[in-house]
Chain A
Amino acid sequence: MGNFAQLVILGLLAGGVYVAVGVGFGLVWGVLNIVNLSHGALVIVGAYITWQLFTAFHLDPFLTLPVDALILFALGYAIQRGVINRVIRAPLLFTFLLTFGINLIVINVLLLLFKSDFRSVTPSYSGSGIELGPVVVSYTRLAALAVAILLAAGLAFVLNRTRTGLAIQAVGADRDAAQLVGIDLRHTYALTFAIGAACAGVAGGLISLIQAVTPTAGEPYTLQAFVVVILGGLGRVSATVLGGLLFGLIEVFAQSIPGSGSVYANAIAFGLLVLVLVVRPQGLIGRLR
């Protein structure tokens, strides 16, 4: 039983990262109807900013998170306003390919700037942790989970309680009607993508504390963000939080299966994904659109 509790705790901690990666991806998908294949690359940009600030100025990694968010916000705004807005009415595959192209550019520019060496962010407290029953939980992992939940809560607040957030939701619900009531489509689209990118930046900062970072380290996160968002359901921040935590739990439990459970982590995740899609396409608590 102790083992079970241990797995639950580890799963929830792993889920924190997925929540952080998933909320921005889910926002962009839900509102813009774009599956952003460059999301993982943007996450890694955030990770490199944290790494750079940490190694050059010895800033505490958690203090760099707002910087990650700001820079990625600006980058995201520029990408959407300058590029993606131009094909937003084209068929689905074109936005897929466009964001894949952006992904290719971002990853390879990172390769030029930082080479493919492994970079890790190790503040003085990275090795220590607290005992929670049978498991030792590292402070960084715990803080990462907390930041991820705060990020999701902040995003939900912005979306549901501010004029900007309501405008974003209106655009997501009906583009033409939103334009009729005077919402600036170009700006709102760019803002949505910028917020999604800012979330990716924060997620990247957290990830730099947890794993070694390379320019290509973000690719699995794009796929996992898919799974997380679909698992929870599109169109709600809380659904993504649920999906992320659940995905962390599933991953940890799958890896604990004796024998070769760990090598099937992707297969189990995607098998589950296909099952959810077929049985309950709106996700666990999502809204069908």
Chain B
Amino acid sequence: MSFSSLPDPSGKRWRRIFLVLGAAVLVYALVAPLTSLDAAQSAGLPLLADKLWFRIATIIAMFVVMASAWNIIGGLTGYAAFGNVAFFGIGAYTCGMLVARAHWPLLLALPVAPVVAAVFAALIGVPLLRLRGHYFAVASLGVSVAVGEVIQNLEVGSKPIFGGASGLFLPILRFDYRDLLFFYLMVAAGALTVGVTWWVLRSRFGYGLIAIRENEEAASVMGVNTTAYKVAAFALSAALTGLAGGIFAQWNVFINQENVFPIEYNIQMILMALVGGAGTLFGPVAGAITLQLLIQFLSGSLPISADLPFVPPDARPVVAQVILGLLLVVTVIFVPRGVIDFFGGQSRLSLAFLWRSLRETSV
């Protein structure tokens, strides 16, 4: 790699600006919901978080969990998992079944979701993680498609077990501040995921995973039990993703194959981790927030989303997708090491940098 390792004053400035900006966004996101409390309203505070705000913020937090969780298997261990949405769906259905059918209270059902997702990941991980590269990616993608189909169609005596094609309805939680609760739950899950990643990055376990990513044979020779490490990383990633799924189930009240096993989530979480910087602690978080805001902005859900010029309103969602695709292509071509490099002080945002990263990967 030809990236300069000399301290770069300009890079440091970017890093500082980025940290301050990130902290400000975080404080705002954590405090704004409180203004929706009755006490705050009767005290005459402005309402900073309405229904739409909660919706978008909770979705962003959900993607922070998914992108950071993917980072453990994809970014740290270097296994291109393309089917993590399976764990999201399994978590959602675990929580959904326990709450809707077994009438468990949410807080009791929620911890079960990651456990089931992790056990499933460990079971399929043993055979799947013997595969590498494209083969692992394709196999994990296949598993996620198959799991969604099986859950939708599994039936006993022609009675669907999991609600079938019409999906599964959960009882609506009787609580005045539902939006507030689910937002903070999802943020807590995000904090947990970042915390777990932080711990992994500093542990013997994490060093083992990075060794596997860099050279699996060498790691094995050095005494890393590669199979156990890989399966553990996969299960950990699955558990956190399953937790997000469990929260989503009760938040959304209705789950079916389409909304908890969407294939495009697989791509989105990877993209977020990569854009932010795979293998880093905050990269996936930054990537998830930026990209999800962009997606919401382009599709016109944000209050500041203006009309796009020359685009009739009915064609807007389609044009938004085209723009997203173009951005994806441009990002991948010019910034293979992730936008975070700009802010991490490792490189300066300059034409020379773009040119260099382009030359490094092309023929």
| Chain A residues engaging chain B, CB cutoff 8 angstroms | 29, 33, 35, 83, 85-94, 96-98, 100-105, 107-109, 111-112, 175, 185-186, 189, 219, 223, 226-227, 230, 260, 263-264, 266-267, 269-271, 273-274, 277-278, 281
Contacts and interface: CB of A to CB of B under 8 A. Distances in A.
Contacts of B315: 112
B134 A94 contact: no
Interface string B110-141: 00000000000000000110110111011101
A-B residue pairs, 9 tightest by C-beta: A101-B328, A270-B142, A104-B325, A105-B325, A90-B361, A267-B146, A86-B362, A108-B321, A101-B329
A21 to B, nearest CB: 15
Chain B interface size band reads: 35 or more
Interface in B345-362: 358, 360-362
B210 interface: no
A98 B150 contact: no
A35 B82 CA distance: 13
A271 B146 contact: yes
A92 B80 contact: yes
Contacts of B360: 89-90
B48 to A, nearest CB: 34
A55 B82 CA distance: 39
Contact of B271 (A97, A111, A263, A278): A97
Nearest to B311: A112
Given A90-B336, A93-B274, A104 B328 contact: yes
Contact of A89 (B145, B324, B363): B363
Contacts of B142: 223, 226-227, 269-271, 273-274
Contacts of B271: 97
A272 to B, nearest CB: 9
Given A105-B326, A230-B138, A273-B139, A97 B270 contact: yes
Contacts of A83: 329, 333
Interface string B63-96: 0000000000010000010100000000000000
Contacts of B325: 101-105, 108
